[in-house]
Structure 1
Amino acid sequence: MTSARFTLLMAALAAGLLASMTFAVMVGSVDITPRLIGEVLFSKLGVFTETDASKAQTVIIWDIRFPRIVLAAIVGASLAICGAAIQALVKNSIADPYILGVSSGASVGAASVILLGAFSILGEYAISLAAFLGAILAVMIVFFLARVNGRLSVIRLLLAGIAVSMVLSAITNFMLMMSKQQGGIQAVMHWMLGSLAGAKWSNLGIPFFSMLLVFILLLMNYRQLNALLLGEETAATLGVNLDRFRIFIILFVSLLTGVVVAVSGSIGFVGLIIPHIVRMMAGSNYKMVLPISALMGAIFLVWADMGARIVLAPEEMPIGIITAICGSPFFIWMLRRKQYSFGDGE
């Protein structure tokens, strides 16, 4: 893809994201117009103070819908760039961030708070902290099991991720089975299927800056990501320290995935399908893949969240069900292809 086409595509996606977020704020039981959205936004930013929006409309726009839509965009972008990085690491387009056990570890942490009262002293931040700690602990175990004679094996990484995920999922299921708290069981199940209902302005800062940090770091190392696609020997010949760079990817991808899972629950398939669609559109150059994936992931999850709010209105469907409905057919299509690896594995 030429730089002119890349710039045009990025501009179109940015405009699409802005339009999607505006439309998402409008969707709901209370009618909201684009003009009211603009007035509330600019009044909150201090551009002007006069607005025709009622107090109730202002609360709905600024305190309820806006944080949720912004969180959807952050989580979607984060999972997409994490998926792109993991797929480069294992040179396989059907990999996603959750193969490292992040989701299962976070689920154990969240279930321990909801069902057992762990970290209750932290109040509303208890679930997020426990989920994040569970995710990081799972990755550390996977990372430890994947090292062979001091070196990191990609095959063992995949196998260790599957094994650790199964063990942690069993622990979560055991806690659910032993619990007699019907409300707690429903809360855990809802969290495990993903939800953005708890979004507040106060819990957007950490996910946003984590996403920004990891995105910048990955973009700065796009040449090394491109080199990984060419094979280990070629990458080493080009000067890439394979073990050190793999550790770099695993640590930062796990950090970002753990942060977003902690605030949104487990949302699958975003990190799998978005990078693959981007590579079909723009090729495998990670200088272009990463920013395009971030915008497309954000747009996808904003629309998925809209679907979650609309389908069973006034009830809310877990967003993970929406992403699974969209992602599963795509995943099956990829599996039915004769080749689904890339780089020198095609």
Structure 2
Amino acid sequence: MKKVGLFLFILLLALLSIFVGVKDISFTQLFQWDSEQKLVLLTTRIPRTVSLMIAGSTISISGLIMQHLTQNKFVSPSTAGTMDSARLGILVVMIFFPTAPLLFRSLIAFLFAFGGTLIFLSLTRFLPSKNQVMIPLIGVMFGNIVGSIATFFAYQFQLVQNMSSWLQGNFSTVMKGSYELIYLTLPLLVIVYFFAYRFTIAGMGEDMSHSVGLNYRQTQLLGLSIVALSSAVVLIMVGSIPFLGVIIPNLVSMRYGDHMKNTLWITAVGGSIFLLICDVAARIVIAPYEIPVSVVVGVIGSLIFIFLLLRRRTA
């Protein structure tokens, strides 16, 4: 019953996302199927809705993996320097390979994101693991350092405006023929499902992993590779979405526990639902104009994040 309810809710939000926009399209007019409606639906509305659902699921699951691998509820690609490192990689491509295809950009962004995440994990080994706030705080500081380096070189090569506008979380530019790379994250989500039990054990610590015969380092590298590649693809396609990878896994964990295989699909659906709601709100707040969805997610997500911090402190 729970699965049916979530499925119907996300279907309703997807339909709402398709019909909300500058161009008015009513459900009754849909069956007339004139050329203008066909162009709007197939070129922009449907690709945008699909991208929202995939991006929401991918970011949420990436956060879930990071939280298991670091044993910290407040770690995600946006608080571990992963996204900032990928942004630096994209800047390198823009400077040295300005005409490179998207796949090459994704590869370089993945390598930088993976390297940045490994550096963050190396830093966490010198920190007390029981301090749940200190580790993501160090991650944010590390990400700011990487971001400052990227901004410095962006100023040097006069790419600040180009980079900031391109990497801001926004789905208004998603169109048919320019978003399909995001489908690359779908097989990654399938891999996560098959390795979910291993990630759950890894989340119990290195000693527990060794006691049950699990190769902790290999599992950690696999998880980080999935997170880095997913983050790079999402960043290139739709930009940076803050807080989503932190709040959704935490909200799901509060209700359904920490067994990853049981909560994986709920986390994915929850991320899609949250991002769909924020994107629809971004389109109607100052209609007919719209604001970047990252702004709406940042406002709502920050409030939820503060609630999670206060709850963790009083627990």
More deviation, 80-89/23-32: 23-32
1:216 match: 190
Cα distance, 1:167–1:63 mapped onto 2, change above 3 Å? same
Q: Are 1:270 and 1:323, in contact at CA under 8 Å, matched by a contact in 2?
A: yes
How many residues are treated as equivalent by the alignment?
A: 309
1:32 match: 25
1:324 aligns with 2:306: no
Kindly provide the CA deviation profile for residues 95-147 of structure 1, in whole angstroms up to 9, marking residues without a partner as x.
Answer: 11223423212333444566x5x43334xx45x74365234214224425745
What's the secondary structure of 1:196's corresponding residue?
coil
Aligned counterpart for 1:312 among listed residues 277, 280, 286:
286
What's the secondary structure of 2:72's corresponding residue?
coil
1:68 match: 48
Q: Deviation at 1:269?
A: 1.0
Q: Are 2:169 and 2:238, in contact at CA under 8 Å, matched by a contact in 1?
A: yes
User: In terms of Rg, which structure is larger?
Assistant: 1
Cα separation, 2, equivalents of 1:327 and 1:295: 17
Kindly provide the CA deviation profile for residues 285-309 of structure 1, in whole angstroms up to 9, marking residues without a partner as x.
Answer: 2112111111111111112111222
Cα separation, 1, equivalents of 2:241 and 2:312: 27
Q: Deviation at 1:167?
A: 3.0
What's the secondary structure of 1:218's corresponding residue?
helix
1:278 aligns with 2:252: yes
Letter in 2 for 1:306: V
Matches within 5 A, 1:6-21: 8-21=1-14
1:143 match: 118
Q: Are 1:79 and 1:271, in contact at CA under 8 Å, matched by a contact in 2?
A: yes
Letter in 2 for 1:85: I
Q: Deviation at 1:273?
A: 0.8
Cα separation, 1, equivalents of 2:28 and 2:258: 40
Q: Are 1:102 and 1:135, in contact at CA under 8 Å, matched by a contact in 2?
A: no
1:171 aligns with 2:149: yes
Cα distance, 1:23–1:144 mapped onto 2, change above 3 Å? closer
Cα distance, 1:13–1:136 mapped onto 2, change above 3 Å? farther
Q: Are 2:66 and 2:76, in contact at CA under 8 Å, matched by a contact in 1?
A: yes
1:120 match: 98
Structure 1 stretches lacking a partner, 5+ long:
1-7, 40-51, 341-345
What's the secondary structure of 2:99's corresponding residue?
helix
Q: Are 1:86 and 1:97, in contact at CA under 8 Å, matched by a contact in 2?
A: yes
Cα distance, 1:36–1:110 mapped onto 2, change above 3 Å? farther
Q: Are 2:168 and 2:238, in contact at CA under 8 Å, matched by a contact in 1?
A: no
Cα distance, 1:212–1:17 mapped onto 2, change above 3 Å? same
Matches within 5 A, 1:160-309: 161-162=139-140, 164-178=142-156, 185-208=160-183, 210-309=184-283
TM-score by length of 2: 0.86
What's the secondary structure of 1:201's corresponding residue?
coil
What's the secondary structure of 2:21's corresponding residue?
coil
Cα distance, 1:145–1:35 mapped onto 2, change above 3 Å? same
Q: Deviation at 1:24?
A: 0.8
Cα separation, 1, equivalents of 2:271 and 2:126: 26
Q: Deviation at 1:200?
A: 2.6
Computed over aligned residues only, the root mean square deviation of the Cα atoms, in angstroms, reads 2.9
What's the secondary structure of 1:93's corresponding residue?
coil
Cα separation, 2, equivalents of 1:224 and 1:258: 24
1:87 match: 67
Cα distance, 1:31–1:166 mapped onto 2, change above 3 Å? closer
Q: Are 2:57 and 2:271, in contact at CA under 8 Å, matched by a contact in 1?
A: yes
